[in-house]
Amino acid sequence: MSAEKQSCSRCNYIFSQRKSNSVQYTLAWTIAAIIMFIPANIYPMMVFYTLGRPESSTILEGIASFIQQGLYPIAFIIFIASFVIPLGKIIGLLILLYNTKSHSRISKQKQTKMYYLIASLGPWSMLDVFVVSVMAAAVNFGFFTSIEAGSGITYFTLMVIFTIFAAESFDPRLLWDIERRNINER
Amino acid sequence: MNDTNSLDELIACLHCDTLATSPSLAAGETALCPCCGNKLFSRKKDSINRTMAISLAGLMLLFPAITLPIIGVGVAGKYNDASLVDCIMLMINDDFYIIAFSVFLFTIAIPSVKIFSAFYLSYKIKRKQISSSLLIFYRSYHLFDSWAMIHVFFLGIIVSIYKLISLDELTVGSGLISLLLLLLCSTLISITIDQKLIWDTLESEFAPKS
């Protein structure tokens, strides 16, 4: 493959055989997301003021209060969207990154499916951010009752954005490259 | 590599990079990758007309969906309703600039660009006025694929309604209906738009000089 830059005859975009520095970028974004995951879960997502008395709740506290109130479907949705999916994405991307370097027992088809699942689930993690912003705008009665966003929400949003960047910069074809290398060596 | 005709007949799989000979499909059929089974492309029925109609409807719904109140809450005689713009303004007032920016980007800016791109592309292709700006529009359409989040925002509203249902008074406004219809339009666009047809049309116009 020549180093000279060629552009696509369809969209005029510059060609590259694989996304450049895919593994490094993906790893960097994933680490950034892991760092953001910690404050996102420690600091409160939402502060609920009743008669001036603040009552803050983090992601997991919010889910626990839903379970206490008996709102199981909502608790389940929030738990999946704001806890399971981000964590699953981070772990999944780390597994995929590892598999571009070494051979694994999981079939390449399954790994590729896993990547596209990770990539397509990305936006759903923003659910909690939207919920908080809608509720903060709707319940806004000053001193009497109001809902405000907590400081954790900024870290949470950044974490979600970082995981989307990580998934976008990963090149699933790298997973197949190792297979081809093995065939050539035989 | 000199034989350009046979190169045009080849298609590479997006998942595993396998080269396959591109079959010619009738409307409504789908081609799959022989190696990993991923969808290569599909030929859609009446794609250009349908995309144009739906994206025009989507463009008309944008303004009401953004500005009309979505939900209203009444507590002890006081009433307050919130639209999408109110959500963003409130976040700016509370100094959550990153949240305000990302809500604006993911629910207003990017969906608008996507719907407008779909409309502009289908209109221009229908009128056979193909210019190089279409390339930029269509590339942006692909670039923003994973960043349009109206569907997530809509689920967010439903969750909020569930959370607030215990309050004295809860109303849903016309913004919610507009937003639902907008969501329907943007989903339908991704169903009706025929990516390969558009690329083929654009490519035949800007054929490589070699």
Number of domains within chain A: 1
Q: Do A154 and B98 touch (CB under 8 A)?
A: yes
Angle between helices A127-138 and B84-93 (to 10 degrees): 90
User: Looking at residue A2, what is its pLDDT?
Assistant: 44
In a domain, A102, yes or no: yes
CA distance A164 to A89: 9
CA distance to partner chain A, nearest, from residue B80 (Å): 6
pLDDT in tens, B128-139: 877 777 888 888
- Identify the top-confidence range among A13-17, B7-11, B198-202: B198-202
In a domain, A120, yes or no: yes
Mean pLDDT of chain B: 81
Residue pointed to by tokens 């929030």: A78
In a domain, A1, yes or no: no
In a domain, A182, yes or no: no
The token duo for B2 is 């000199």
pLDDT in tens, B187-207: 888 888 877 778 777 777 765
User: Looking at residue B1, what is its pLDDT?
Assistant: 42
Q: Do A136 and B88 touch (CB under 8 A)?
A: no
pLDDT in tens, A78-125: 888 888 999 999 999 998 888 888 777 777 778 888 888 888 888 888
Residue numbers of A between 25 and 54 with CB closer than 8 Å to B: none
Classified as helix, coil or strand, A51 is coil
pLDDT in tens, B145-180: 778 888 889 888 888 888 887 776 788 888 889 999
In a domain, A8, yes or no: no
In a domain, A4, yes or no: no
Check pLDDT > 60 for residue B209: no
Residue of A nearest to B12 (CA): A173
Mean pLDDT of chain A: 83
In a domain, A154, yes or no: yes
Higher pLDDT, B107 or A70: B107
Best B152, B167, B195, B201 member to test A by mutation, with max A CBs in 10 Å, is B152
Neighbouring CB atoms inside 10 A of A84's CB total: 13
In a domain, A2, yes or no: no
State the residue range of the domain holding A83.
17-177
The verdict on pTM exceeding 0.90 is no
User: Looking at residue A74, what is its pLDDT?
Assistant: 84
Closest CB to B82: pick one of A134, A149, A173. A134
Closest CB to A144: pick one of B76, B98, B153. B76
Residue numbers of A between 96 and 115 with CB closer than 8 Å to B: 108-109, 112
Closest CB to B149: pick one of A13, A120, A126. A126
Best A129, A148, A175, A176 member to test B by mutation, with max B CBs in 10 Å, is A129
CA distance B210 to A34: 48
CA distance to partner chain A, nearest, from residue B163 (Å): 8
Higher pLDDT, A167 or B37: A167
Q: Give Cα separations from B30 to A61, B10, B39, B192 (angstroms).
A: 47, 16, 7, 14
- Percent of chain B beyond pLDDT 90? 10
User: Looking at residue A33, what is its pLDDT?
Assistant: 93
CA distance B182 to B145: 16
CA distance to partner chain B, nearest, from residue A148 (Å): 8
Q: Is B209 on the interface with A (CB under 8 A)?
A: no
Nearest to A111 by CA among A91, A96, A101, A93: A96
pLDDT in tens, B25-42: 777 778 888 777 777 777
Check pLDDT > 90 for residue A53: no
User: Looking at residue A34, what is its pLDDT?
Assistant: 93
